Amino acid sequence: PMELNKSTRFALYAAVEMARHPGEAVSASQIAERYQISEHHVAKVLQRLCHARIVRSIRGSGGGYVLARDPAGLTMFDIVETFEIIPDGEGCVLRAPGETCGNLSLCRIREVLHDIQSYMLRRFKTITIATLAEGKENTALRQESPIERGDAQASAKVKPR
């Protein structure tokens, strides 16, 4: 996915918030208030995370949600794949899933965007929710970035014709 949908973003916010409060139940309203997002939508996202066994609900007074998995072993990809259609690399990233394109063999843009998308998905698999909760996301994101490394191919300038 080149752009994460709203549910995915809300799920990431929720997971980070729960990781920031280990052992404490976090409510949908707390998450919604902190990130200024819809409580109703957060509640739906939390239900889906429960079904995926990423979080579990705690009922009763002081109830809410907690991570069902160790945040150090839970990656961004684990959450993204719960809410997004992960491309198989065969289609066109410029079109909606299932939409056909007659230019696949001619298109140079597709290959570049596919590489970018593949890189992004690989990075999602290496960044844990614990890293995000600890506020180390900037360091984690830069570790393998070809742009931060000064990779000549990644930062090559394109000259206009």
| Domains of the chain by start residue, with CATH | 6-144 (1.10.10.10)
Band (109; pLDDT cuts 50, 70, 90)? confident
Query: Is the model's pLDDT at 46 over the cut of 50?
Result: yes
Residues 104 and 92: beta-carbon distance below 8 Å: yes
pLDDT of residue 92: 67
CB-based burial label for 75 (10 Å; 0-12, 13-18, 19+): buried
CB-based burial label for 143 (10 Å; 0-12, 13-18, 19+): exposed
**Which pTM does this prediction carry?**
0.76
Query: Is the model's pLDDT at 147 over the cut of 60?
Result: no
pLDDT of residue 142: 55
Worst-scoring range by mean pLDDT, 24-33, 111-120, 124-133? 111-120
Place of tokens 């991570």: 67
pLDDT of residue 155: 39
Band (10; pLDDT cuts 50, 70, 90)? very high
- Token duo for residue 29: 């309203």
**Residue closest to 25 by CA, chosen among 53, 75, 49, 61:** 61
Question: What average pLDDT does the structure give for the chain?
Answer: 82
Band (161; pLDDT cuts 50, 70, 90)? very low
Residues 73 and 128: beta-carbon distance below 8 Å: yes
Model confidence over 65-76: pLDDT tens digits? 999 999 999 999
Mean pLDDT of 36-45: 97
Mean pLDDT of 23-33: 95
pLDDT of residue 116: 86
Band (113; pLDDT cuts 50, 70, 90)? confident
